[in-house]
Structure 1
């Protein structure tokens, strides 16, 4: 394994014992990821420390400058977009998605609203019923690619919700993908363009994209063995649920905005809204969710917000804690394995005081 390295850390000066301890803990996290490339980027009150390393050879650019696939952590961006469109208008969140996608068509999903889709309470399954049949021929390469935007929309309009919308929580890539297409229909522009204009540009996040493009160098994902490269992830029609790729410092900028919105940002109201609990589930309602984030209580009124993501060759963990002013972006280029330490390590880092 290559030695963990520092990037984007504090200006040159004598490191305090607390800073040295933080670097050591981040180095341990990099080693625990056991991936060809790993980055643990932490910000505390705006002061950033980034540690990198990996079991593979050094990439063509420093690991902290690579752009990584963040998988389902994309959903937090879609949630922030919806919150912004509701807070600043013209949406309320209560609009039926089917009415935006197929005006006048009679369907069984007539009562499924934009908010139901984002909060995983639509009654839709994790993926469309016919997804697996279409995905099998390319399961080991890009199973989402054959399922286009048109197929996602058609599957939604033909769907039979498993329960009344708003009644139960069930995590659904399908639902958030439909939301992206419904927002695109409402505003007459692709989800990617709407997100770039209304969320990414106001936060200065010009390097985040939904596909390999421009001068950015994208990280190469690997299979469970940590050695076999896999192709870049193609989300097909599931863009709003899993398409984004981003560099660690851009992700820290995004997370820091949730802790301390930039002065004058048009997203201030939305950034506050996505920290507000909207539902509780599970035994004793212990699991709390906002429009975009999982929210876990830490006692004494404190809480951490987080979301994970994985593609077929990379993993991501994003989180922040308002009580400590901490943001964490953890990334690695290895497919999720049984008893994988990556998410647990990142979660534990964020949970520490």
Structure 2
């Protein structure tokens, strides 16, 4: 394997990428060979807190933390991945649909539960108020009630449907299995063991968190409150914690969560035929030079993020940015995610050349 280019060449490349991204705040951070390179920029004036010290909302990347917690609790013997979801929900919750009673925790983790992307009762509010998060007013009681009333679209395990609804249910299920609130569980079982001291599920004090903006580019977007969808999208982290998280996945043996970190990287399913993609328990997996790369992206109303890693070369890449709300509708194809993906692939290609 050819050695990586110099630290200066990598920094120059990241600097060019940051300059090409149209966002108020941008961070690109790479870890490889035990060395970290972090470059920041953006068209907004930098606040008193440097961009690389701010905490960014990770959106759907939070699901990777929830599934890592799932595998950790399984290692402790508190549950198994193939437990029925209903076994860890309140016994008073009645599930009239037999398909709902067949859903397992693994189905929730791999988006094969058959549940829709979001609960049906969130759709009217999203259509009427597209720039307002409906999750904030959605508590656990409502989440469980809606789950009980929802007939899955397909039998569990038969189809892949990306589902915030399903991932959210991991929160109360893991809490029920371990007898503690989800935020506390994530903190004690995942964040603390991995040394992620700048990662949290709640907003921090003034100046600690990155802030997105409304269409005018001046009015800040309120911090995203995920309500009962905590497991699906509430994590926020500073760039160096993102790198620590990636390094733990790249080198599981050196962490207290060696088994769970290896478990979440095991492929579970493939969809889309020869040109499709493989899914592990929580990561998307694509072919890359030298071996597969694993990644996930996330977005909230004012921010977006990407985490990816290439085990064969020991390379990890974290990207985060704030954005203006006019770009919300383009979040799936946002330039940050595409640029980060291509950059990680390029670094993998470089290492294998």
Instruction: Establish whether TM, by shorter chain, passes 0.5.
Output: yes
In structure 2, C-alpha distance between the alignment counterparts of 1:35 and 1:278, rounded to whole Å = 35
2:274 to 284, 290, 293: 284
The 3-state SS of whatever aligns with 2:101 is coil
For residues 136-151 of structure 1, what are the structure 2 equivalents within 5 Å? 138-151=129-142
SS in 2 for 1:298: coil
SS in 2 for 1:315: strand
Residue 164 of structure 1 aligns with which residue?
A: 155
**Are residues 1:133 and 2:124 paired?**
yes
Instruction: Indicate the residue corresponding to 1:81 in structure 2.
Output: 69
Compute the displacement of 1:100 (Å): 1.8
Structure 1 window deviating more from structure 2 (128-137 vs 318-327): it is 128-137
SS at match of 1:233: coil
Which residue in the other structure is 2:260 paired with? 270
Compute the displacement of 1:88 (Å).
3.0
C-alpha contact (below 8 Å) 1:221/1:230 kept by paired residues = yes
Q: Secondary structure at the match of 1:204?
A: coil
Deviation at 1:134, TM superposition (A): 4.0
Aligned equivalents of 1:202, 1:169: Cα separation in 2? 32
| Partner secondary structure for residue 227 of structure 2 | coil
Deviation at 1:20, TM superposition (A): 2.2
* Paired residues of 2:293 and 2:308 also in contact (CA < 8 A): yes
**Other-structure match for 2:309:** 320
Q: Distance in 1 between matches of 2:15 and 2:134?
A: 34
Q: Distance in 1 between matches of 2:5 and 2:114?
A: 51
Task: Give how far 1:153 is off.
Answer: 1.3
How far is the alpha carbon of 1:229 from its aligned partner? 2.1
Deviation track 1:300-330 (CA, whole Å, cap 9, x = no partner) reads 5x01010000000000000111111111110
Q: Is 1:175 the counterpart of 2:201 in the alignment?
A: no
Cα distance, 1:138 vs. partner? 4.7
Alignment of 1:286-301 (within 5 A): 286-299=276-289
CA apart distance, 1:188: 1.9
Q: Distance in 2 between matches of 1:298 and 1:227?
A: 40
Q: What's the offset of the Cα at 1:206?
A: 2.2
Partner SS state of residue 331, structure 1: strand
For residues 337 and 32 of structure 1, the distance between their equivalents in structure 2, rounded to whole angstroms, comes to 20
Contact kept? 1:317, 1:330, Cα under 8 Å: yes
**2-side partners of 1:294 and 1:43: how far apart?**
19
User: Are 2:318 and 1:329 equivalent residues in the alignment?
Assistant: yes
TM-score using structure 2 length? 0.90
Task: Kindly state the Cα deviation for residue 207 of structure 1 after the two structures are TM-superposed.
Answer: 1.9
Residue-pair matches, total = 336
Cα contact 2:49–2:207 (8 A) shared by 1: no
1:242 aligns with 2:233: yes
Gaps of 5+ in 1: 1-15
Change in CA separation of 1:241 and 1:106 when aligned onto 2, cut-off 3 Å: closer
Of 176, 188, 208, which residue of structure 1 is paired with 2:179? 188
1:66-119 CA distances to partner (integer Å, 9 max, x unpaired)?
011010000110111111122332211111112321326343111111110111
CA RMSD of aligned residues (A): 1.9
Structure 2: state its 5+ residue gaps. none
Q: Following the alignment from structure 1 to structure 2, what is the Cα–Cα distance between the partners of residues 340 and 99? A: 39
Of 113, 118, 127 in structure 1, the residue corresponding to residue 104 of structure 2 is 113
Distance 2:71 2:215 in 1: 36
* 2:57/2:304 contact within 8 Å kept: yes
1:177, 1:238 within 8 Å by CA — same for their partners in 2?
A: yes
What are the within-5 Å matches in structure 2 for residues 180-259 of structure 1? 180-213=171-204, 217-223=208-214, 226-259=217-250
Question: Aligned partners of 1:225 and 1:342: how far apart in 2?
Answer: 21
Matching residue of 1:50 = 38
**Which range is displaced more, 177-186 or 121-130?**
177-186
2:255 maps to 1:261: no
